[in-house]
Each structure stands twice: as C-alpha cells, then as structure tokens.
Amino acid sequence: MVLLAAFLALSAGALAPPPQQEQVLHMSRRPSGARLVVRIPDAAPAIALPPIAGPRDPARPLVVIDAGHGGHDPGAHNERMRINEKDLTLAIAQAVRDELLKTGRIRVALTRSDDRFLVLQERYGIARKLGADLFISIHADAAEDETAQGATVYTLSDVASDREAARLAARENRADILNGVDLSDKSSAVSSILIDLTQRETMAASTRFADLLYREALPHFPFRSPYHRFASLVVLKAPDTPSVLLETGYISNDRDAGWMATRDGRMQLAKGVAAAVSVHFARASIGR
Ligand code: ZN
C-alpha cells in the first residue's frame, strides 16, 4: 500500500525535485501520462566551501590560504626527522591565518583545516567561489642537495624560469594524477581572449605580490636566490585571483625542517606573510 501511494504521488509529480535536478522519462505506454522521476547526481560534486574568519564586512579583502597536500598525499618527507610536508603546511597556514586575523581588517579562509585531500582545481576553485582577493598556497620544498635551504615564491608561467622550477611544477602537479584524475590540461578549454587578458593582469598582480612578499618577509625568514621563480603550477591557474605559491623552506634540509616545525619558525613565517599581505591591500585601497 505504501509503495502504491508513493507511486501515485510520484505520478502526480508531488515528490518531484526542482526541474534542474530531475530527468523525466516519459512512459509512453501509459496513457494517463504517468512519469517516472529519476534524480541524477550533479556531474561534479559541489565543493564544500570553508568558513571565512575575520570581520563580517564583505567589503574587507579576503585571503585564501592553501595548505599544500593532505590526506593520502603527504607531500615531501624528511625521513630523519619524521616530518611530512602536509603537516608543516597546515600548521604554517593556520599560523598565517591567525596573524592576518590580528590586523582586524582582513578576512581569511583556509582551503583545508584538517588532514584531507583536495585536488588542485578544488583549491583555487574555493578561492574563486569565495571571491578571494589573494590566494597563497603554502608548501615546503625538497631537493636531493641536502644543503639547499631558504624560501622561494612561485608565480604562474607557461614557461618555467629554470629546470628546477620545471621539476618543482612536475612534483607539485602530481597531486591530481595521484588521485587518478589528471585535470591539468583543463585550462586549454577556457582560453578565450577575455580570460587571457584577465589572466595576464592577474599574473602581473601576482608578480607584484611576490616582490612585496620578499621585501616584507626578508626580516623574518631567509630566501634563496633568485627568490622569485616561474612555473606552470596548476594550483595557481585561477585566471582572476592573484596567486602565489610559497615554498617556505626545504623540508629536505634538517635546519629548515626543524625551524619550520617549531612554533617560533611558524610565527616568523606568519609575520612575514602577514606584513606583505597588509601592504598589498593598503596599496590596493590607495589605488581605488
Ligand atoms: Zn608541496
């Protein structure tokens, strides 16, 4: 009886979901016009948007901080010190958020605040959906040369600035392939002139921020030379959000890794990034 009632209700459309989510199969053999409504899942699951911390005023600038790696992707690893990149990046991202919130003027969201995996498109997708004004992806570098140390800031370019930058892009872009979906060529589908122009402007803004980051953060932590490199990093491909990837230091270098893993190290990193972000938005408000 219950089943029959449900079927009749369904026939009348009483249980039908909103039109955009339904697929209606007309049953031509039923003269009564009965129809079967089948719910079909969205092609791509919606990204769960993280909460925004800080002032409630939506006119305040919003920074999205992305803790690199997570979940089944540990990132680089320091065997001797038992430190995973995914844990370092999360702790540093949280320290940067806390430091930015202290200004009382900047809104902040994290792409992840626990140990979870996100494909690279989801990371900048979150920034775009939230309408972020700036996107900063936090990573820790690794090299065969254990003496390599210091921070590097990367911005997007189709042409890598050197072989090391190309290798870094290959390593960081691997996250999506690890997850079984290589989406890294998606950008070619959206190469309209408009997006191209927007992207060019965004890349220039990203480069200005990279320079600022070096200048403001240098009193707090050391950089390598050159401090700014270019690479084709998927996580930086939002066409309309200025984006940088900060390699905060070398996890493969025991001194860097040990320093990044301490509270004081994270504080210094956070202070340097926050100083640059503050100046960046102060400049933007003057230019308005
Ligand atoms: Zn990384």
Q: Where are the domains of the chain?
A: 49-287
Six-digit token string for 236: 């930086």
pLDDT tens-digit map of 66-97: 999 999 999 999 999 999 999 999 999 999 99
In 10 A of CB 159, how many CB atoms?
A: 9
pLDDT of residue 85: 98
Ligand 1 centroid to 43 CA: how many Å? 29
**Residues in Cβ contact with 157 at an 8 Å cutoff, skipping those fewer than 6 apart:** 203, 230, 231, 232
State the average pLDDT over residues 88-116.
98
pLDDT of residue 177: 61
The DSSP element (H or E) to which 95 belongs, if any, is helix 85-101
142 neighbors 215 (Cβ within 8 angstroms): no
Q: 193 pLDDT band (50/70/90 cuts)?
A: low
Ligand 1 centroid to 183 CA: how many Å? 18
Q: Which amino acid is at 10?
A: L
Lowest mean pLDDT among 37-41, 85-89, 190-194, 251-255: 37-41
**Longest Cα separation, the chain:** 79
Ligand 1 centroid to 86 CA: how many Å? 8
Ligand 1 centroid to 92 CA: how many Å? 13
pLDDT of residue 2: 43
Residue showing tokens 């122009």: 197
State the average pLDDT over residues 94-121.
97
Asked if residue 9 has pLDDT above 60, the reply is: no
pLDDT of residue 209: 98
The DSSP element (H or E) to which 154 belongs, if any, is strand 151-156
Q: 178 pLDDT band (50/70/90 cuts)?
A: low
d(C-alpha 29, C-alpha 35), whole Å: 10
pLDDT of residue 153: 98
Q: 3 pLDDT band (50/70/90 cuts)?
A: very low
pLDDT of residue 285: 79
Ligand 1 centroid to 41 CA: how many Å? 32
Residue showing tokens 């230019």: 287
d(C-alpha 118, C-alpha 179), whole Å: 9
Ligand 1 centroid to 29 CA: how many Å? 58
Ligand 1 centroid to 141 CA: how many Å? 6
Instruction: Classify domain 49-287 by CATH architecture.
Output: 3-Layer(aba) Sandwich (3.40)
124 neighbors 241 (Cβ within 8 angstroms): yes
Ligand 1 centroid to 23 CA: how many Å? 42
Ligand 1 centroid to 161 CA: how many Å? 18
Q: What is the mean pLDDT of the chain?
A: 83
Ligand 1 centroid to 127 CA: how many Å? 18
Helix (H, G, I), strand (E, B) or coil at 113: coil
